[in-house]
């Protein structure tokens, strides 16, 4: 195998001139190979992230072992030409020469050998790419010379056995197990805990055994020619670009398949030469908490992956000050320099060779949400970045994480150390949860709902029939499904932490059992999940809700407020929601749904009486009972909002929603009739029966084929003016009362579902008359507005006419989306919508992100026409889209006045609005 590959190198070289002149000259003009000193940080596309940053560090004069990079272009050429481009290898040999000159060592020269590592590195770091191979260039001959030259036989044989092991598993694709098993056997025999305790003699024996293993498995010798080692490793890196894992990952994260990976060939430095050598990884700040101190681990007398592989217990980076004080000081200085240059927290790999520090890699460090926020603010204070940059570095998800439970960081770390991290799935709905697993929705509902236990519902996938169980569970796990699966959609909608698509999970619902990465769990066993990261743990991992009053978060959000032009309001029905939202920074209430208040236990019978009333008088009596209740509701909202706008939507849903279902009434009537027969004359029962019968008749009379498009919204107010009159009276009585108490008020009365200018004309006249009357009675001046929702396409299209009568617009994008698509959301999201997303008929759920091409066009038209007619027209959005960053950016572009979202989305919306202002 090895020899044939060497031949291929030579023959391709000698055959070059035979090829057509055109092809050759075209190929000649391509530069495939770059020395570290020839590249820079902004060439990540060509040199890969790892390579480009090595070049940048070289330019900075940092101690980087030198090397060269074979470009991503070469990777693409490799696939096109089904082999290395013919003029590539000469360029590699030339770069190698330059490396030899620089280091004073020669590749493949036993008397003074140069060894190199071969590292993969695409533009974005991604799983599935080839693991790094260290110590390339060692052969049976070189290893002996190296032992003699360094006087360190242990080091030489340790390096060789590592090369044999890494090359065989990574490049030749042999099973890792026999190699590991042999080492384990040797450790047991020598009674040592880790490989650093094995002697030179043992390592030599191990190396020889590994050589035999290669011969046995591949039928060829382990390549004893350094150049062919290099070439085989290079090709293996290229091939790994199309490994299944890499391809799957790119598909899942929308990364193009033609970016290619680069190959970095770098002179080896050795952390395994003795006690003043070592290797480690550290971040320049704590990336869990954001604290300003180095965080990381290292090992003395170790090489490469030893630190992350967990075979030896690492030492925390602060211990370096005891082990090698001069190096510790040098390393922290280096960290500062890197942060200054890259203007962000860095994740640094380093190696110490006989007391000399080398940097092997640097990149922007991954961080927790909390650390992201704190670090962004710190960097501004340190003048490394601007406020605008800080606002763009934090994501809406980072802000969102502050509003959900998270694992307690120490507990999570301990769980990882215990080996309890079971798997990672898709992180589809943020928040951490811990609880006992159950395998069916009814048990979840029973235990989670009635018994208030913490349960986690585990399913292969969820269906509409499972929703009651999902609601009662603290979290949801599924083995199948993606980001738009039923489980994901429902979980996000209800704010349930969820991890889906966990391929390592096998659910055996019939036997109430699941297996995950070889471990079996039965009903009642405790697991924990983090829907923000996709992690699943065995056992309980305690959760905490991060403090929203984190000074860094408040600072960052105050910067966002300075930048954004969109207002951020909230949808709140109750004073407690309004207060919470104000605490999160809401500047008004964009939607208060009055009908929610009608559903409360003590009110529902009165609402039903109102609906059932046969005469105006009866109706009036019921309404006057509701009036003080609604007044109290609105008073609370006005008090909570202290003069900020409070938009109150008049009753919207069809009245039958306040009545029991037809089926239930029918059953009740039959039951009562039978009971009466048994008991004989009974006044109480007879009265109940009469009421149920009246309800039944009312329901039958009100039955509509399409209630969503029936008697609701403004139509209901026109049909039943007394009801909306009562609401308006309650609003203005409350406003006057609060104003009299010395608190400013600003009510905005919002009429739902308008389609026609004439509807508004009719209804506003009645309502404003009522408002004026109240203001007159109370003798206080109240500033107020009448406006409408824009949720019927006709209203959007005739917005100029509508604006004659509406002082403000608010897009109800849930209904507007339903009516524009002609899709009922409830039916779609539990049914065919999933299929549409799966088949790519819809690129995304239009109820989650505004459909800009359709619904968005209607909105655009409405804004334009509305403001033509009334230049000061305030236009907001109160549909669920108001809390979605992508939709918020769209609203910013449309020039809306504000977005209104649920209290928990307010902080997210503040950042998203700022980002929209900064990027559009």
Q: Please, what is the end-to-end C-alpha distance for the chain in angstroms?
A: 57
CA–CA gap between residue 35 and residue 671 (Å, rounded): 88
Q: How many residues interact with Mg ion (rule CB under 5 A)?
A: 5
State in angstroms the smallest separation of the CB of 351 from ligand ADP. Answer: 5
State in angstroms the smallest separation of the CB of 268 from ligand ADP. Answer: 4
List, in order, residues 6 or more apart from 322 with CB less than 8 Å away. none
**263 neighbors 133 (Cβ within 8 angstroms):** no
Residue among 812, 846, 882, 883 that touches Mg ion (CB under 5 A): 812
Q: Which is nearer to Mg ion, 591 or 689 (CB)?
A: 591
User: Among this protein's residues, is 257 annotated catalytic?
Assistant: no
Residue 646: closest CA among 732, 746, 736: 746
Among left, alpha and beta (phi > 0; psi -120 to 50; other), residue 426 is: beta
Q: Which is nearer to Mg ion, 54 or 108 (CB)?
A: 54
10 Å CB burial of residue 16 (0-12, 13-18, 19+) is: middle
Q: Does 361 bind ligand ADP (CB under 6 A)?
A: yes
> Which of these segments, 265-273, 339-347, 676-684, 829-837, binds ligand ADP (CB under 6 A)?
265-273
Q: Does 351 bind ligand ADP (CB under 6 A)?
A: yes
Q: Does 349 bind ligand ADP (CB under 6 A)?
A: yes
Residue 172: closest CA among 212, 222, 107: 222
Q: How many residues interact with ligand ADP (rule CB under 6 A)?
A: 16
Residue 65 interacts with which of Mg ion, ligand ADP, none, CB < 5 to 8 Å by class: ligand ADP
Q: Does 240 bind ligand ADP (CB under 6 A)?
A: no
> Is 60 in a helix, a strand, or coil?
coil
Residue 466 interacts with which of Mg ion, ligand ADP, none, CB < 5 to 8 Å by class: none
DSSP letters for 397-436: HHHHHTTS-EE-HHHHHHHHHTT-EEEE-EEEE--EEEEE
421: phi then psi, degrees, rounded to nearest 5 = -75, 110
CA–CA gap between residue 45 and residue 76 (Å, rounded): 12
**95 neighbors 68 (Cβ within 8 angstroms):** yes
State in angstroms the smallest separation of the CB of 649 from Mg ion. Answer: 8
CA–CA gap between residue 8 and residue 669 (Å, rounded): 90
> Which of these segments, 139-147, 266-274, 366-374, 662-670, binds ligand ADP (CB under 6 A)?
266-274
Per-residue mark of binding to ligand ADP, 52-91 (x: CB under 6 A) = -------------x--------------------------
Residue 1: closest CA among 167, 157, 116: 167
Q: CA 670, 671, 672, 675 torsion: positive or negative?
A: positive
**885 neighbors 396 (Cβ within 8 angstroms):** yes
Residue 440 interacts with which of Mg ion, ligand ADP, none, CB < 5 to 8 Å by class: none
154: phi then psi, degrees, rounded to nearest 5 = -60, -45
> Is 750 in a helix, a strand, or coil?
strand
Per-residue mark of binding to Mg ion, 777-806 (x: CB under 5 A) = --------------x---------------
Per-residue mark of binding to ligand ADP, 286-305 (x: CB under 6 A) = ------------------xx
Residue 815 interacts with which of Mg ion, ligand ADP, none, CB < 5 to 8 Å by class: Mg ion
The 8-class DSSP code of residue 33 comes to E
CA–CA gap between residue 546 and residue 543 (Å, rounded): 9
Q: Which is nearer to ligand ADP, 217 or 305 (CB)?
A: 305
State in angstroms the smallest separation of the CB of 8 from Mg ion. Answer: 30
CA–CA gap between residue 528 and residue 447 (Å, rounded): 17
Q: Does 2 bind ligand ADP (CB under 6 A)?
A: no
Q: Does 361 bind Mg ion (CB under 5 A)?
A: yes
Q: Which is nearer to ligand ADP, 49 or 876 (CB)?
A: 49
CA–CA gap between residue 600 and residue 607 (Å, rounded): 10
Helix and strand counts by DSSP (H, E) for the chain:
39, 33
CA–CA gap between residue 896 and residue 907 (Å, rounded): 18
> Is 808 in a helix, a strand, or coil?
strand
Residue nearest to Mg ion (CB): 815
CA–CA gap between residue 531 and residue 512 (Å, rounded): 23
> Which of these segments, 264-272, 320-328, 395-403, 910-918, binds ligand ADP (CB under 6 A)?
264-272
> Which of these segments, 263-271, 477-485, 769-777, 836-844, binds ligand ADP (CB under 6 A)?
263-271
**Which helix (H) or strand (E) covers residue 32, if one does?**
none
Q: Which is nearer to ligand ADP, 278 or 883 (CB)?
A: 278
Kindly identify the residues of this chain, within the stretch 319-358, that bind Mg ion according to CB under 5 A: 349
State in angstroms the smallest separation of the CB of 509 from ligand ADP. Answer: 38
Tell me which of 878, 881, 891, 901 is the catalytic residue. 878
Q: Does 266 bind ligand ADP (CB under 6 A)?
A: yes
Tell me which of 398, 404, 486, 881 is the catalytic residue. 486
Residue 812 interacts with which of ligand ADP, Mg ion, none, CB < 5 to 8 Å by class: Mg ion
**Which helix (H) or strand (E) covers residue 90, if one does?**
helix 88-103
> Is 515 in a helix, a strand, or coil?
strand
Q: Which is nearer to ligand ADP, 127 or 742 (CB)?
A: 127
State in angstroms the smallest separation of the CB of 91 from ligand ADP. Answer: 20
Residues found in the chain: 920
Strand blocks (E) in 125-256: 133-136
Residue 404: closest CA among 371, 367, 430, 434: 430
Per-residue mark of binding to ligand ADP, 117-136 (x: CB under 6 A) = x-x------------x-x--
Residue 132 interacts with which of Mg ion, ligand ADP, none, CB < 5 to 8 Å by class: ligand ADP
Distances (CA, A) of 689 to 510, 611, 646, 699, 796: 45, 17, 42, 15, 47
User: Among this protein's residues, is 662 annotated catalytic?
Assistant: no
State in angstroms the smallest separation of the CB of 393 from ligand ADP. Answer: 23
State in angstroms the smallest separation of the CB of 332 from ligand ADP. Answer: 19
Residue 619 interacts with which of ligand ADP, Mg ion, none, CB < 5 to 8 Å by class: none
Residue among 55, 227, 263, 269 that touches ligand ADP (CB under 6 A): 269
Q: Which is nearer to Mg ion, 405 or 812 (CB)?
A: 812
Q: Does 815 bind Mg ion (CB under 5 A)?
A: yes
Residue 134 interacts with which of Mg ion, ligand ADP, none, CB < 5 to 8 Å by class: ligand ADP
Q: What are the residues binding ligand ADP (CB under 6 A)?
A: 65, 117, 119, 132, 134, 266-269, 279, 304-305, 349, 351, 360-361
Active site residues: 486, 878
Q: What are the residues binding Mg ion (CB under 5 A)?
A: 349, 361, 791, 812, 815
């Amino acid at each position: 195998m090895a020899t044939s590959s060497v031949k291929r190198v030579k023959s391709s070289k000698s055959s070059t001139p035979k090829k057509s002149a055109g092809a050759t000259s075209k190929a000649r003009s391509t530069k495939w190979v770059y020395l570290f000193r020839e590249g820079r940080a902004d060439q990540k596309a060509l040199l890969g992230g790892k390579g480009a940053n090595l070049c940048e560090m070289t330019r900075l004069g940092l101690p980087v072992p030198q090397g060269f990079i074979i470009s991503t272009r070469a990777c693409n050429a490799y696939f096109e030409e089904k082999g290395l481009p013919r003029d590539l290898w000469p360029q590699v040999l030339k770069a190698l020469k330059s490396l030899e000159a620089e280091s004073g060592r020669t590749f493949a020269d036993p008397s003074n050998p140069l060894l190199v590592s071969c590292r993969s590195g695409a533009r974005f770091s991604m799983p599935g790419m080839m693991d790094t191979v260290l110590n390339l260039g060692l052969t049976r001959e070189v290893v002996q010379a190296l032992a003699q030259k360094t006087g360190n036989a242990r080091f030489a044989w340790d390096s060789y056995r590592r090369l044999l092991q890494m090359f065989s598993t990574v490049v030749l694709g042999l099973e890792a197990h026999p190699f590991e098993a042999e080492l384990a056997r040797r450790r047991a025999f020598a009674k040592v805990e880790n490989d650093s305790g094995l002697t030179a003699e043992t390592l030599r024996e191990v190396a020889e055994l590994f050589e035999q293993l290669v011969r046995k498995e591949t039928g060829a010798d382990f390549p004893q020619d350094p150049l062919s080692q290099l070439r085989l490793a290079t090709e293996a890196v290229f091939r790994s670009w199309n490994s299944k894992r890499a391809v799957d990952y790119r598909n899942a994260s929308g990364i193009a398949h033609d970016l290619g990976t680069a190959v970095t060939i770098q002179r080896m430095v050795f952390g395994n030469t003795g006690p003043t050598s070592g290797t480690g990884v550290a971040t320049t700040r704590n990336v869990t908490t954001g604290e300003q101190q180095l965080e990381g681990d290292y090992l003395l007398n170790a090489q490469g992956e030893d630190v992350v592989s967990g075979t030896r217990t690492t030492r925390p980076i602060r211990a370096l000050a005891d082990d090698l004080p001069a190096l510790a000081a040098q390393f922290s200085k280096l960290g500062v320099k890197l942060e200054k240059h890259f203007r962000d927290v860095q994740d640094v790999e380093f190696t110490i060779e006989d007391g000399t520090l080398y940097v092997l890699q640097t990149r922007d460090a991954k961080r927790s949400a909390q650390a992201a926020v704190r670090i962004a603010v710190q960097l501004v204070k340190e003048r490394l970045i601007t406020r605008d940059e800080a606002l763009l570095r934090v994501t809406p998800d980072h802000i969102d994480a502050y509003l959900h439970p998270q694992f307690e960081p120490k507990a999570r770390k301990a769980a990882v150390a215990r080996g309890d991290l079971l798997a990672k799935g898709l992180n589809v709905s943020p928040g951490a949860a811990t609880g006992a697993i159950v395998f069916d929705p009814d048990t979840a509902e029973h235990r989670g709902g009635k018994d208030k236990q913490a349960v986690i519902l585990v399913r292969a996938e969820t269906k509409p029939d499972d929703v009651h169980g999902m609601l009662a569970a603290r979290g949801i796990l599924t083995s199948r499904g993606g980001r738009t699966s039923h489980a994901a959609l429902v979980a996000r909608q209800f704010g349930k932490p969820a991890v889906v698509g966990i391929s390592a999970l096998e659910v055996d619902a019939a036997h109430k059992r699941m297996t995950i990465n070889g471990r079996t769990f039965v009903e009642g066993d405790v697991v924990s999940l983090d829907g923000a990261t996709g992690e699943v743990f065995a056992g309980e991992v305690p959760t905490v809700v991060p403090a929203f009053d984190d000074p860094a978060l408040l600072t960052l959000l105050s910067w966002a407020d300075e930048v954004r032009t969109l207002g951020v309001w909230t949808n709140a029905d109750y004073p407690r929601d309004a207060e919470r939202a104000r605490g999160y920074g809401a500047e008004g209430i964009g939607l208060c749904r009055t009908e929610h208040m009608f559903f409360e236990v003590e009110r529902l019978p009165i609402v039903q009486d109102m609906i059932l009333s046969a005469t105006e008088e009866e109706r009036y009596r019921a309404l006057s009972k509701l009036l003080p209740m609604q007044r109290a509701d609105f008073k609370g909202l006005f008090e909570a909002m202290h003069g900020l706008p409070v938009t109150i939507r008049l009753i919207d849903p069809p009245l039958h929603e306040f009545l029991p279902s037809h089926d239930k009434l029918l059953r009740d009537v039959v039951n009562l009739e039978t009971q009466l027969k048994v008991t004989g004359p009974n006044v109480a029962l007879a009265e109940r029966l009469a009421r149920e019968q009246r309800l039944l008749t009312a329901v039958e009379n009100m039955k509509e084929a399409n209630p969503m498009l029936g008697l609701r919204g403004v139509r209901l107010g026109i049909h039943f003016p007394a009801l909306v009159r009562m609401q308006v009276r309650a609003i203005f009585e409350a406003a006057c009362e609060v104003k009299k108490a010395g608190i400013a008020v600003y009510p905005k009365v919002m009429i739902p579902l308008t389609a026609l200018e004439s509807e508004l004309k009719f209804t506003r006249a009645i309502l404003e008359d009522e408002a004026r009357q109240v203001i007159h009675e109370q003798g206080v001046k109240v500033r107020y507005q009448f406006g409408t929702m824009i949720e019927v396409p006709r209203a959007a299209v005739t917005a100029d006419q509508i604006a004659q009568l509406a002082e403000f617009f608010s897009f109800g994008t849930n209904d507007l989306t339903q009516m524009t698509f002609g899709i009922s959301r409830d039916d779609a999201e539990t049914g065919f919508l999933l299929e549409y997303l799966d088949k790519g008929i819809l690129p995304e759920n239009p109820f989650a992100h505004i459909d800009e091409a359709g619904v968005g066009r209607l909105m655009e038209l409405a804004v334009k026409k509305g403001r033509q007619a009334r230049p000061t027209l305030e236009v907001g959005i109160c549909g669920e889209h108001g809390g979605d960053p992508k939709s918020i950016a769209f609203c910013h572009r449309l020039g809306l006045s504000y977005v209104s979202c649920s209290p928990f989305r307010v902080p997210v919306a503040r950042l998203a609005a700022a980002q929209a202002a900064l990027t559009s």
